Amino acid sequence: MLRPPCRRLARPLRRAACTGPGRRLLLSTPIFYANGPPHIGHLYSALLADALHRHRGLRGAGPGRLSTGTDEHGLKIQQAAAAAGTSPPELCERVSDLFRRALAQAGVSFTDFTRTSQPRHQRAVQRFWGALLDGGALYKGSYEGWYCTSEECFLPESQLAERRDAQGRPCKVSLESGHQVHWTKEENYMFRLSAFRDPLWNWLQENPHAISPDPFYQRVLRWLEEDLPDLSVSRESSRLQWGIPVPGDPTQTIYVWVDALVNYLSVVGYPTAHGEWWPAAHHVVGKDILKFHAIYWPALLMAVGLRPPERILVHSHWTVRGQKMSKSLGNVVDPFSCMEQYTVDGFRYFLLRQGVPERDCDYYHEKVLKVVNSELADALGGLLNRSTALSINPSNTYPCFSESCFPKVSDSRETKGMGRASAEDYELLASVASLPLQVVGYFEGFQIYKALECITLCVRQTNSFFQRHRPWKLDRKDPAEQLWLDTIIHVTLECLRVFGTLLQPVIPHTADKLLSRLAVEPQERALSSLTFLPRYSGKPCPFEGRQLGPDTGILFHRLEKSREHQRETKKL
């Protein structure tokens, strides 16, 4: 033993970083394990964090950072490199570059890309280890149990199942992943996790939104009601050479998860400059790594006197035609080919529109085509195309709004005999006017898919408005008809301006194209200054009479079935 057991290990927590408007915030993805190329599950994590980061920037909420990167140590990488006939550094260099390129190609606006092989990070991990040791949170002892190399952790019997291996022999596997486990006995450093049950429980009771969505919060509370044994936080160097050595003990290598979790501190300058950012951090993670982020990580932070992160935002997995993605099934979806086939914005939209954090979501080609073609190409793109067509708007301007055609009313049921607008038209105005606040609420609640659902409903309402009044049938030679025609187009363009502004965090390229067509300048695209249809309230509209931007063609081209998919369909 390094020191006698301590009755009280939770150290006084240091004061939080500044809160309120204009405060700093670190948004993070997990750092992705560099034993293989990226798949759509990795991309989904990154896109969720990216959309939150972009949305926060458009709101002018204060300085923000988006961190991501690669986790490059551990037994899995050591074994993967050996199987590939290369060294761990060479494998990590290649795979890390793949992740960086995939995220950049997908438009992920990361500000920091951490590699755990970087000296800066390794120094931070060693300092963090020293702080754990100084606080009495570590001791050395013999440990044995079922170890899962794929998950890089020991698993209790309750998380195992009996199966048969490829040779038909009985074996034990992880219930969560299905990967085989092996009985392992070794001398390790242990973290006194059992001492942190009450501090963790109190933290969650005082911060009911610390883990979202709520089903995952409830899952963590249930875990805390179970046995919480001390945690092995090192491996024998004879078994694991590829990692960060324990300071002062060359016989031990720091456990890969401790190493990886410290990236959230090393990226903000731990151990010297992190106070400017920490604990103002929101971690976006998959449900398979919830325990590491919601129990182990907060306990480790408490042990060194730091507060847990403000929020842990958890999402579920993607399946492929109802099956879990796996190399053995050959159904792992390559994000590079998806972005090429569906376009970057098309695939971004699909994942964020269809991904529901609380439950696993299913990917298949036909679904992507249906969602993207229906909502981006037809509904949104068709509306822009029709409302800016020279046959409808030959002056190519943002036309004037007529208050006599669309008078302001306190109740949409009192529209009879007033102007040209119907009760349905007033319902459209109410829906679009309330949309920005709805979207903000859903983004803050980590329900981006619901924000997109609301936008889609409003796009459909606007299409119905345009179709209902058939502006192409109106006689421009009649002054009264011209006033109504201009008002129809004005209202439609105002709706499109709101949609384009709100969609910037999700489909940045397409939103930019839409707003540029409406001649909305870059400085006019912030969410903080978004005002819908000011002329309806008797206020001036800065866009009225403005020449529209250049026509760059179809907003979003319809996607077609790929040749490979057509061949697969014929086989079926």
**How do beta strands 249-254 and 170-174 pair?**
unpaired
Asked which of 288, 315, 342 is the last residue of a domain, the reply is: 315
Q: Could you tell me the pLDDT band of residue 514, with boundaries at 50, 70 and 90?
A: very high
Over residues 28-35, the mean pLDDT reads 96
Over residues 203-211, the mean pLDDT reads 97
Please give the Cα distance from 445 to 435 (Å, whole number). Answer: 15
Q: Which residue has the higher pLDDT, 3 or 47?
A: 47
Question: Would you say residue 177 has pLDDT above 90?
Answer: no
Closest C-alpha to 204, from 177, 184, 223, 232: 223
Residues 445 and 533 in one domain: yes
Four-CA torsion 320, 321, 322, 323, nearest 10 degrees: -50
Residue 227: the pLDDT is: 87
Over residues 547-571, the mean pLDDT reads 75
Residue 569: the pLDDT is: 39
Question: Would you say residue 351 has pLDDT above 60?
Answer: yes
Q: What is the mean pLDDT of the chain?
A: 91
Over residues 483-491, the mean pLDDT reads 97
Instruction: Give first-to-last CA distance, the chain, whole Å.
Output: 63
Task: Name the 3-class secondary structure at 120.
Answer: helix
Residues 384 and 285 in one domain: no
Instruction: Decide if 1 is inside a domain.
Output: no
**Per the structure block, which two tokens stand in for 432?**
């679009």
Residue 427: the pLDDT is: 96
Instruction: Decide if 154 is inside a domain.
Output: no
* Cα within 13 Å of Cα(54), Cβ side: 22
Question: Would you say residue 169 has pLDDT above 70?
Answer: yes
3-state helix, strand, coil in the chain (%, to 5): 45, 15, 40
Answer whether 428's CB lies under 8 Å from 465's CB: yes
412 exposure class (CB count in 10 Å sphere: 0-12, 13-18, 19+): middle
Task: Name the 3-class secondary structure at 22.
Answer: coil
Residue 6: the pLDDT is: 44
Residues 504 and 397 in one domain: yes
Residues 311 and 376 in one domain: no
Residues 440 and 511 in one domain: yes
Instruction: Decide if 241 is inside a domain.
Output: no
Q: Could you tell me the pLDDT band of residue 12, with boundaries at 50, 70 and 90?
A: low
pTM above 0.95, yes or no: no
Over residues 249-266, the mean pLDDT reads 96
Residue 5: the pLDDT is: 42
For 123, 211, 283, 308, the CA distances from 14, given in Å and listed in that order, are 21, 21, 20, 11
Residues 74 and 219 in one domain: yes
Q: Could you tell me the pLDDT band of residue 3, with boundaries at 50, 70 and 90?
A: very low
Instruction: Decide if 261 is inside a domain.
Output: yes
Please give the Cα distance from 442 to 452 (Å, whole number). Answer: 9
Instruction: Decide if 61 is inside a domain.
Output: yes
**Per the structure block, which two tokens stand in for 176?**
């969560």
The domain spanning residue 541 has which CATH number?
Answer: 1.10.730.10
**Per the structure block, which two tokens stand in for 121?**
């990070």
Q: Could you tell me the pLDDT band of residue 324, with boundaries at 50, 70 and 90?
A: confident
Whole domain around residue 202: which residue ranges? 25-137+196-225+255-315
Number of domains, the chain: 2
Over residues 180-184, the mean pLDDT reads 85
Task: Name the 3-class secondary structure at 160.
Answer: strand
Instruction: Decide if 328 is inside a domain.
Output: no
Q: What's the chain's length in residues?
A: 572
The sign of the dihedral angle between the CA atoms of 76, 78, 81, 85 is: negative
Residues 418 and 489 in one domain: yes
Asked which of 283, 298, 315 is the last residue of a domain, the reply is: 315
434-456 in b/e form (b: 16+ CB < 10 A) is: ebbebbeebbeebbbbbbbebbb
Q: Which residues lie below 8 Å from residue 400, measured CB to CB, with a gap of 6+? A: 486, 487, 490, 535, 544, 545
Answer whether 421's CB lies under 8 Å from 415's CB: yes
Residues 79 and 206 in one domain: yes
Q: Which of 1-5, 165-169, 412-416, 443-447 has the lowest mean pLDDT?
A: 1-5
Q: Could you tell me the pLDDT band of residue 411, with boundaries at 50, 70 and 90?
A: low
Task: Name the 3-class secondary structure at 291.
Answer: helix
Answer whether 91's CB lies under 8 Å from 81's CB: yes
Residues 302 and 396 in one domain: no
Q: Which residues lie below 8 Å from residue 356, measured CB to CB, with a gap of 6+? A: 316, 449
Q: What is the CA radius of gyration of the chain?
A: 28
Residue 331: the pLDDT is: 85
Place of tokens 């300058």: 269
Answer whether 552's CB lies under 8 Å from 515's CB: no
Instruction: Decide if 434 is inside a domain.
Output: yes
Residues 306 and 376 in one domain: no
7-38 in b/e form (b: 16+ CB < 10 A) is: eebbbebeeebeeeeeebbbbbbbbbbbbebb
Please give the Cα distance from 450 to 439 (Å, whole number). Answer: 8
Encode pLDDT of 117-154 as tens digits: 999 999 999 999 999 999 999 999 887 788 887 777 77
Instruction: Decide if 270 is inside a domain.
Output: yes
Q: Could you tell me the pLDDT band of residue 522, with boundaries at 50, 70 and 90?
A: very high
Concatenated DSSP letters of 179-243: -B-EEEEEEEEEE-GGGGHHHHHHHHHH-TTSEESHHHHHHHHHHHHS----EE-EEETTT--SS
Concatenated DSSP letters of 340-372: HHH-HHHHHHHHHHH--TTS-EEE-HHHHHHHH
Residues 374 and 311 in one domain: no
Residues 418 and 527 in one domain: yes
The domain spanning residue 306 has which CATH number?
Answer: 3.40.50.620
Q: Could you tell me the pLDDT band of residue 562, with boundaries at 50, 70 and 90?
A: low
Over residues 382-411, the mean pLDDT reads 92
Over residues 205-227, the mean pLDDT reads 96
Residue 441: the pLDDT is: 97
Over residues 256-264, the mean pLDDT reads 97
Four-CA torsion 544, 546, 549, 550, nearest 10 degrees: 120
